[in-house]
């Protein structure tokens, strides 16, 4: 009976990590849409929903500590719990960065962007693809998928450099647009950091699956 309860708690932990990943994915998506469409109401929704992310992350943390303290897991199970503990931290920080993007939408007060947003949504799409793939690698305990996912961060970094160069060119041409350009520069950096957190999740999954500690960032 005790073993069955332990296995159920471990399975619930994995399900909550997947649920948290899905919540964060939606928040990142909506934050960037709010910026693209200058939708302050959607941005506020992102900010409000971050509380639920924090609550679930806290639940996961408590579950991890409970399993370690009461069940004294060994080998693969211990690595799985330690990985879940680290992943929830990365997911919570990704959500915080999405909130920062939503706040930029609100600070913008409906002011039109210096240019149509193309590469920033592309960055968002790529970071979300990385996030979902990283969570799948956790679910499947698939180290190969984690490695392949981490490699996509080069695409995110390339888009970040492209956005930064383009925005700085706009700034030289029209210094009066400093505030708007600065906001978009911050957003591109937030997305680049979200990609880095996805890579952190991949590193954690590789440790869980193989026992090897790797540094992919």
**pLDDT tens by residue, 25-71:** 999 999 999 999 999 999 999 999 999 999 999 999 999 999 998 88
Q: Is residue 130 part of a domain?
A: yes
Number of domains observed in the structure of the chain: 1
Return the closest-CA partner of residue 27 out of 86, 89, 87, 100. 100
At residue 1, the pLDDT reads 43
Q: Is residue 139 part of a domain?
A: yes
Domain of residue 91: give its range: 2-210
Q: Is residue 215 part of a domain?
A: no
Q: Is residue 205 part of a domain?
A: yes
Q: Is residue 186 part of a domain?
A: yes
Q: Is residue 217 part of a domain?
A: no
Is pLDDT above 60 for 145?
A: yes
Q: Is residue 216 part of a domain?
A: no
Rg (CA), the chain: 19
Its pTM stands at 0.94
Residue 69 is part of a domain; what is its CATH number?
1.20.58.220
Q: Is residue 147 part of a domain?
A: yes
């Amino acid at each position: 009976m005790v073993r069955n309860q332990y296995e159920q708690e471990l399975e619930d932990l994995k399900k909550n990590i997947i649920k948290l990943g899905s919540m964060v994915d939606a928040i990142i998506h909506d934050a960037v849409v709010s910026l693209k469409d200058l939708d302050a109401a959607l941005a506020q929704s992102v900010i409000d929903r971050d509380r639920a992310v924090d609550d679930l992350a806290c639940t996961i943390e408590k579950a991890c500590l409970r399993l370690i303290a009461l069940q004294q897991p060994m080998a693969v199970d211990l690595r799985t719990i330690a990985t879940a503990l680290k992943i929830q931290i990365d997911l919570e920080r990704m959500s915080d960065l999405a909130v920062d993007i939503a706040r930029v939408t609100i600070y913008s007060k409906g002011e039109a962007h210096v240019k149509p947003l193309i590469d920033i949504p592309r960055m968002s799409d790529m970071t979300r693809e990385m996030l979902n793939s990283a969570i799948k690698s956790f679910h499947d305990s698939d180290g190969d998928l984690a490695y392949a996912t981490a490699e996509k961060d080069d695409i995110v970094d390339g888009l970040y450099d492209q956005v930064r160069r383009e925005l700085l060119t706009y700034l030289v041409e029209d210094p009066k647009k400093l505030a708007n350009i600065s906001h978009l520069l911050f957003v591109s950096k937030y997305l680049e950091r979200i990609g880095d957190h996805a890579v952190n999740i991949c590193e954690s999954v590789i440790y869980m699956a193989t026992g090897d500690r790797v540094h992919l960032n």
